[in-house]
Structure 1
Amino acid sequence: MKRINTLGAGCLARALAFSLAAGGLALPLSAQAADLPAAVAQDLYENGGVEHWLPKAEKGDIFAQYVLGHMYCNGKKVEKNYELGMRWYRKAADAGFAPSQLAVGTMYFQGQGVERDRDEALDWFTRAAEEGYARAQSNLAALYLGEKGVEPDYEKALHWYGKAAAQGHTVARYNLGMMYAHGLGLDEPDYVAAYGLLSPLVENGHRAADELMQSFLGEMDEEELVAARELSEELQAQDRMLVALDQRAANR
């Protein structure tokens, strides 16, 4: 049975859980360090300001360069200075440090310390995503949904949400489920895949995932519900997520 999207544009708009703040300019530094090794993060918390990080940064320490970028962009123990922040972020970004690449992209997107340049921003987001950085993958996917004036490309959005979700990124998994529920980037909505992606979130108390799933459960027959529950079990293994979704697409 050919399905059409019956969930509505308003539901889609509410489903988008994207913020450029997640790129690195508005979150506390503790949140910025969440993806970094615990020993490095602990060093970050225990040590102080510019006098600690500047000598390391000048010697080419990529993480120290990243920290200085954050400090200057956020006014942490130093006067806020976007130009200096961009300078230090860029040094680490040029060396391939994904959190800095995401931060540089965010600054280009927002016009902080540099002239606003959407194409340059997308290039830096893509570099960070290709480094395997889940936060960058999720943000890039959201932009390809048509956020912030970027031309929609649903296939790319599916791709990058899938990459991030496979690393356990909750927002990406939710938005990937939303895309399957709406049929974005697909020939038609796939409620079985949407259920498989959303049900673990629902079990963990994710209210938006529950609301989204309730919106299409009534459209599913018993055979689909059985398949959805089986797929949900298979998708629990994150290292199998993309393979399982690809197999389902190939067999439809």
Structure 2
Amino acid sequence: MKKKLILSICLLFTTLNANNFKSVAQSAQYGDVYAQYNLATQYKNKAQTQQDLHSAFKWYHKSATKGYSASQYQLALMFHYGSGVRKNAELARLWFTRASKKGHAQAQSVLYRFYALERPQPHTVQNRRYSMNFRR
């Protein structure tokens, strides 16, 4: 009895998940940016092949071009790490910048690290004192 109950619950959740995927995919086809983001995330989380990552990239890109900052951030990560696409630092920075302009905190943090590493380090001049209390 317990086995049948557990099996039926598992089948119920599997069916609900499949129906959820279909409804999200249908909404994404109609241009809903949140659905496009959710569909891309589902593809990315269940990615077993390069084709799944490419599908995730496609849906993130559709949502990102419409201005959804979470998709812009995920797209930037895909370019940065080369998951599903060829690594491209320039495009990664572009999408991180777009997401950060929309107020995405993680994208702002990543951009800060990009610019902090690029900033020229100050040269230290030896044998000079810069104190106001300098006495000879």
TM-score, normalising length from structure 1? 0.39
Q: Does residue 220 of structure 1 match 2:122?
A: yes
CA apart distance, 1:89: 0.5
2:73 to 138, 141, 147: 138
2:107 to 172, 196, 204: 172
2:64 to 117, 129, 146: 129
CA apart distance, 1:181: 2.8
Aligned to 1:84: 19
Aligned to 2:53: 118
Please give the alpha-carbon distance, in whole angstroms, between the structure 2 residues aligned to 1:150 and 1:116: 10
Q: How many residues align?
A: 109
Rate the CA distance shift 1:176–1:142 in 2: closer, same or farther, 3 A. same
Matching residue's letter, 1:142: L
Deviations 1:80-134 (A, max 9, x none): 533211101111111111111011112222337xx96111110101001011000
| Unmatched tracts of structure 2, length 5 or more | 1-11, 124-136
Q: Please list, as runs of the form range in 1=range in 2, the aligned pairs for 1:58-97 lying within 5 A after superposition.
A: 79=13, 81-97=16-32
Rate the CA distance shift 1:123–1:173 in 2: closer, same or farther, 3 A. same
Matching residue's letter, 2:104: H
Please give the alpha-carbon distance, in whole angstroms, between the structure 1 residues aligned to 2:114 and 2:87: 13
Name the larger-Rg structure. Answer: 2
CA contact (8 A) 2:28 2:35 kept: yes
Q: Does residue 105 of structure 1 match 2:40?
A: yes
Deviations 1:194-219 (A, max 9, x none): xxxxxxxxxxxxxxxxxxxxxx8xx2
Please give the alpha-carbon distance, in whole angstroms, between the structure 2 residues aligned to 1:100 and 1:157: 23
TM-score, normalising length from structure 2? 0.69
| Unmatched tracts of structure 1, length 5 or more | 1-77, 183-188, 192-215, 222-252
Task: Report % sequence identity.
Answer: 24
Deviations 1:18-43 (A, max 9, x none): xxxxxxxxxxxxxxxxxxxxxxxxxx
RMSD of Structure 2 on Structure 1 (CA)? 2.4
